[in-house]
Amino acid sequence: MGWKNQTGMNWSLEFNSRSAWTVDIPENTIGDHTIVKYNMDNFDSWHNYWKLVCLQGWRESPNMFDYTVLLKDGMPLTVMQDTFCEFEEHQWLWGHSTGDILITGLGIGFVNEWLIKAPGVTSVTIIEKEQDVIDLVWDHCAKDERFTLIHADADTWDNPDELYFDTIWIDHVFNTNDHRQAALDKYTPWGDNIKVYADNAGLDNYYEINEETGMLELREKNERLPWCGGTLPVE
C-alpha cells in the first residue's frame, strides 16, 4: 500500500510528475475472479486487453511498474488496476472526499488508499456485488472503523436504512443501455453530490500525491489527458 510517482511527463512548466495509489492485494483466484501482478517480466501472461493497450502501458512508465490487476473470466476488459490512468480518472472523487461517502464497487480497494487519509471523511460505505471480489480483496485493503462493506447488487440495492450521503461515486456499470442516466436516477435521491466514473472531462481541479506527506495537493490540469479536458498526443 502507498503510492508511486513518475517524473518526466513534460506537461507542466511547474509540475513534472504523475502519481497513483498502490494496493497490496496478494495474487489469488476465487471463483471466476483473479488478482494478478503485471510487469514486463511476465508480459506473455498478460490479459489480452493489456497487451492491446501496451502503448498506454508504456505511457504509464518507461520501465513499467508492478501493477495489481483484477480480472474476471470471460470479461474482455480488466476489472480494476492501480495505474496512473485510474488515479487520473478518479480526480473528481479526490476533490469531493468529505463527510459520508458511498462507493459502488470494491474493485481492488484503490479508492480506500485516499479515503482512509482524507480529512473530513466520517464514513465510507462500499457496495460490492461479487462475493469472490470481497473474499479476494476486503481482508487486505486499507480500511478502518469508518468503512462498511455491503454485499449487494448496486443496481438494485434499496438503501433500507434511508441513509443520505455527502458524496456518491458510481464505480460500476449499470446493466442498461444508458448507464449514466440509470445511475443518476437511482442514486440522486440519496445525495445530490454524485458523479459517475469516467464522466470527468473538463474537471476544474487536478490532484497529485505529495511524496513527503502522502496527502493530495492541488496541481494544474494535465491537458494531455482526455478526462482532464484534453486529448492524448498522437504518436
pLDDT tens per residue, range 51-88 = 777 656 666 766 677 899 999 999 988 999 998 888 98
pTM above 0.85, yes or no: yes
**Per-domain residue ranges of the chain:** 2-87+204-219, 91-196
Using the CB atoms, write b or e for 177-198: b if 16+ within 10 Å: eebeebbbebbeeebeebbbbe
Kindly report which listed range (122-126, 140-144, 180-184) carries the lowest average pLDDT score. Answer: 180-184
Contact 207, 94 (CB under 8 A): yes
Contact 171, 128 (CB under 8 A): no
pLDDT at 9 over 50: yes
CATH 3.40.50.150 matches 91-196:
yes
Which residue's C-alpha cell is 511524496?
Answer: 211
Question: Beta partners for 206?
Answer: 219
> What is the rounded distance in angstroms from the CA atom of residue 150 to the CA atom of residue 94?
22
